A and B are shown apart, each in its own frame.
Chain A
Amino acid sequence: MKTNRDKKEYWASFVQRWSGVALALFLPFHFMVLSLILQGEQVLDGFLYWAEAPLIKLAEGGLVGLLAVHLLGGLRLLIIEFFAWKEWQGYLIAIAVTGAAAAGCLFLLRAF
């Protein structure tokens, strides 16, 4: 592991990559759960009831946070790569982190 980690941009890329991997690995499960509807309402309801548990709701809040940070981080990259370079773009990382935390908290507030 390199010892030169002296820029927040490195951590932005790190979070972008690993939040993306987590979401990509979650996605098949998410689709499979929803496709339980094909087996009947009761089957999906069974899962949804299990997912009411506080720990699951907390995990879902975490996923929402990961999705939001990946989204906002992605928007940052699209701005950097497809528009002219502007110095204010440096603030986009802070915006991404704040926005993601807000989204996660908002979800948890509604869930509980």
Chain B
Amino acid sequence: MSNRVEFKLWLAHRISGMALGFFVMVHLAGMIIAIQGGLSSSEILQRTSGNYAWGLFYSLFTIAAAVHSSIGLRTVAREVLGWKGVSANVVLSSFFLGLCFVGLSAVGGLVL
């Protein structure tokens, strides 16, 4: 038994899902409020610049979203395309790392 990696990935997917449940509700409420009357970068920066709590929230959000979407896509790739094994794992790990990098850079850019 390969240390039950598949089960642990599923568990990570579910736990990140629980976290996202909370993060997304806050995000959706926030977005619905924020977009009224249009959106501009100065408006965004007013809310986010120097706001470390915001930065922490969205950093955790980004990582949870990256974990959740990568594992989810991996399952879809296996079941719909029959794509599994090393190549699938490499591509999806790259997707995960890419999302973390771009997402966290964006958060950094908005806070710092």
Known A71-B21, A74-B17; contact A38-B109, beta-carbon cutoff 8 A: yes
Q: In whole angstroms, how far apart are the Cα atoms of A35 and B98 in the complex?
A: 13
Q: What is the 8 Å Cβ interface bit string for chain B, positions 23-36, against chain A (1 contact, 0 not)?
A: 01100100111011
Q: Within B18-49, which residues are at the interface with A (CB < 8 Å)? A: 18, 20-21, 24-25, 28, 31-33, 35-36, 38-42, 44-45
Q: In whole angstroms, how far apart are the Cα atoms of A110 and B34 in the complex?
A: 9
Nearest A residue to B65 by beta-carbon distance? A27
Known A37-B110, A38-B105; contact A67-B28, beta-carbon cutoff 8 A: yes
Q: Give the interface residue-count category, chain B.
A: 35 or more
**Docked-complex contact A81 and B14, CB < 8 angstroms:** yes
Q: Within B52-79, which residues are at the interface with A (CB < 8 Å)? A: 62, 65, 69-70, 72-73, 76
Interface residues of B (CB under 8 A from A): 14, 17-18, 20-21, 24-25, 28, 31-33, 35-36, 38-42, 44-45, 62, 65, 69-70, 72-73, 76, 98-99, 102-103, 105-106, 109-110
Please give 8 more A-B residue pairs, beta carbons under 8 A apart, in addition to A31-B106, A34-B109, A71-B25. A27-B65, A31-B103, A34-B106, A35-B105, A37-B44, A41-B45, A71-B28, A103-B28
